[in-house]
Structures are given as C-alpha cells and as structure tokens.
Amino acid sequence: MVAMGSSLSDQAWGRDSAVYRVSGVLTVIGGWFFTAMAAFTVSSVFATAIFFGKGPATVIILIGAVAIVLRTRLLHKSRESDEEALEVFNLRKIKDSKPAIAITFDQVGVFLNEVSSALEKSLDGLRTQDRLKVKGARETQRKIQRWSNMIAANTFKIFRLINWRDEDTTHRYDVTLSSLQEIAGSLRDITVRSHLHVSNHHSGLLPDQIEDLSTVCSKVCEIINRTARALRDQDCPNCEEIGEMCHGLRMLVGAYDQQQIKRIQENRSKTRLSILFYGLMWDYLKIAESTAQLRTVFREPTMIHPLGDSE
C-alpha cells in the first residue's frame, strides 16, 4: 500500500495501468479480509465439531485432513508430469539443425494425434451430453495450445540454426507454423462451444445433426492421422491422396450445409442449435485444410534435410 501511495505522488499511474493498479490493491486488501474470515470460520466449525462430537469428530477431521493432503499431493504429481511432458517439446539443448528438424517433425506428429483425440472426445461428450467428457476435451485443448506455442518457439530456433539459401523454403516453414496455430485455434473454438453448450444444459443436437458431425469428424481425424504418420516417418507417399480427401470433405460439408438449411426451413433446428452446428462444421473444415497444408514440408527435400548449418 505504501508503494502504491508513493506511485500516486510520483504520477507513475497512467491511463493504461491505473485499472490494473487499483485492481491489485483491492485484490490484496480483499485477500487479507477473506483469509481472516475463512480461518475464523473453519476454526469455529472444527472447534464446535470437536466440542460436541468429542473423539469421533476428531477422528473424522483427521481423516479429512489426510485425504486433503493426499489429494494435493496427487494434483502436484499430475502437474509435474504435465510439465515434464511439456519439457519434451523444448529444443534448448539441441545445437544441430538436423536433429532439431527431426524432433520437430515428431512433435508435430504427437501434436496432431492429440488434436484427433480431443476432437473425438469433444464430439462424444456433446452427443451424450456428458460434462466430464467435454471438460476433459477442454483440458486437452489447453495442453495442445501450450504444445503449439512450444513448437512455434522450436521453429524459430530452427531458423537460427539453419543457413537458408532459398526464401521459398523459409516461407513454407512459415506456412507450417501458421497452420499449427490455426489448428490449435479452431480446436479451442470447438471445445469451448461444446463445453458451454453442455454445461448450460441446452437441448442436444438433432440425431441427423449428430450423424453429419460424426461423419465429418471421422474424415477430419483420418486426414490428421495420415498427416501425423507422414510427419513422424518424414515421408509422405500419399500426399496427393490427403489433398483429395480434403477436397472431398469440403464438398461434403457444403452438402451438409444444404441439409441444415432444410432443417431450419422446416423449423426443426432452433437458432442455438443451428449456430452450434455451423460453427462446429466449419471449424472441422478449417482443421482439415490447415492439416493438409502441412504437406508443404514434403514438397522440397531441403525442408527435411537442410542445405547447410550455421555452426
């Protein structure tokens, strides 16, 4: 509080920072009162329980304390394992471009497999109106978002390690980077839409809407899995086939859009369901097209085997 008061007299507060400074002061002071009230309330409850319950109440409180400690420990171990998994995506110790590229290809393959899993989990939770499944898909999406940021950082490291001779080759890596960000963003939209819809107990999608979305989702996952396998193997013998699948998917989405228009005209699909259907459908398509763009890394051998290293 003294520091904040001093900054007032020093005219250190600006229009852009004043809101955050005031919010910080209120948060700190509110935290003092909240902590005191919480401690007083909990201690009162425990004292009352021990006074009237005697020995049994004491045993129950001890068991509860042990359970809380164990639960906290499990959460901490889970967070540590997540951090270790994230550390696998770090290339700080890599000084050579070739292993850096190979590792990044593997990372993108793992990234795409997780995207496919999250898509299936999210749609299944939306179909069954299962809050736990859509929540799990949302948590997976957050992990995937962190992975995409790490892979982006690795890509910039590869730029520094490789002595590019062809600007077009560098541009293709830029396309790869933007595709990963687009995939992560579209997946976020899908999981958020599904989670909000189920959490707010809105009416479920129509059976034919679920069928359309399931068909599209399965085809998107097939495109993702084929691309992931190609990236892990650093070979794409079926690149053209993936492109044809993506083109066929776009035609299929267009046909399903026309079917949805008929449902709206027949007053079978309400506004909320129509918005959800269209949003999911086009996010699926964006993920498929962005995944197909990753094939650009196979159009030039220098993308996999760099022309030179800046050692």
Instruction: Write the CATH number for 135.
Output: 1.20.58.220
Kindly state whether residues 40 and 120 are assigned to the same domain. no
Assigned domain for 294 exists: yes
Q: What is the pLDDT of residues 89-103, one digit of tens each?
A: 555 555 555 666 667
Kindly state whether residues 232 and 151 are assigned to the same domain. yes
Q: What is the pLDDT of residues 149-206, one digit of tens each?
A: 877 777 666 666 565 544 555 555 667 778 888 999 999 999 999 999 998 888 888 9
Give the mean pLDDT of 8-33.
75
Kindly state whether residues 205 and 75 are assigned to the same domain. no
Assigned domain for 77 exists: yes
Kindly state whether residues 147 and 220 are assigned to the same domain. yes
Structure tokens at 76: 């901490």
Mean pLDDT (the chain) is 80
The answer to whether the beta carbons of residues 144 and 118 sit under 8 Å apart is yes
Lowest mean pLDDT among 6-15, 133-142, 296-305: 296-305
Kindly state whether residues 132 and 192 are assigned to the same domain. yes
Kindly state whether residues 38 and 118 are assigned to the same domain. no
Q: What's CA 127's distance to the chain center, in Å?
A: 20
Range of the domain at 74: 19-82
Cα–Cα distance measured from residue 94 to residue 117, given in angstroms and rounded to the nearest whole number: 29
Q: How confident is the model at residue 303 (pLDDT cuts 50, 70, 90)?
A: very low
Cα–Cα distance measured from residue 175 to residue 47, given in angstroms and rounded to the nearest whole number: 64
Assigned domain for 37 exists: yes
Cα–Cα distance measured from residue 149 to residue 159, given in angstroms and rounded to the nearest whole number: 16
The per-residue pLDDT for 230 is 84
The answer to whether the beta carbons of residues 279 and 189 sit under 8 Å apart is yes
Kindly state whether residues 263 and 222 are assigned to the same domain. yes
Q: What is the pLDDT of residues 274-284, one digit of tens each?
A: 999 999 999 99
Q: What is the pLDDT of residues 203-234, one digit of tens each?
A: 888 999 999 999 999 999 999 998 888 887 77
Q: What is the pLDDT of residues 107-132, one digit of tens each?
A: 788 888 889 999 999 999 999 999 89
Assigned domain for 104 exists: yes
Extended beta strands in the chain, E state? none
More confident residue, 139 or 161: 139
* Count of structural domains within the chain: 2
The per-residue pLDDT for 234 is 74
Cross-strand partners of 309: 162
Give the mean pLDDT of 135-152.
85
Assigned domain for 212 exists: yes
Assigned domain for 286 exists: yes
Kindly state whether residues 60 and 184 are assigned to the same domain. no
**Which of 217, 191, 196, 201 has the alpha carbon at shortest distance from 138?**
191
Tokens 């889970």 -> residue: 78
The per-residue pLDDT for 191 is 93
Kindly state whether residues 75 and 211 are assigned to the same domain. no
Cα–Cα distance measured from residue 68 to residue 15, given in angstroms and rounded to the nearest whole number: 44
User: Residue 19: exposed, middle, or buried by beta-carbon count in 10 A (0-12, 13-18, 19+)?
Assistant: exposed
Kindly state whether residues 137 and 278 are assigned to the same domain. yes
pTM of the model: 0.69
Assigned domain for 10 exists: no
Rounded percentage of the chain residues whose pLDDT exceeds 70:
75
Kindly state whether residues 222 and 289 are assigned to the same domain. yes
Judge whether residue 59 has pLDDT over 50. Answer: yes
Assigned domain for 149 exists: yes
More confident residue, 158 or 241: 241
Give the DSSP H or E segment for 66: helix 18-87
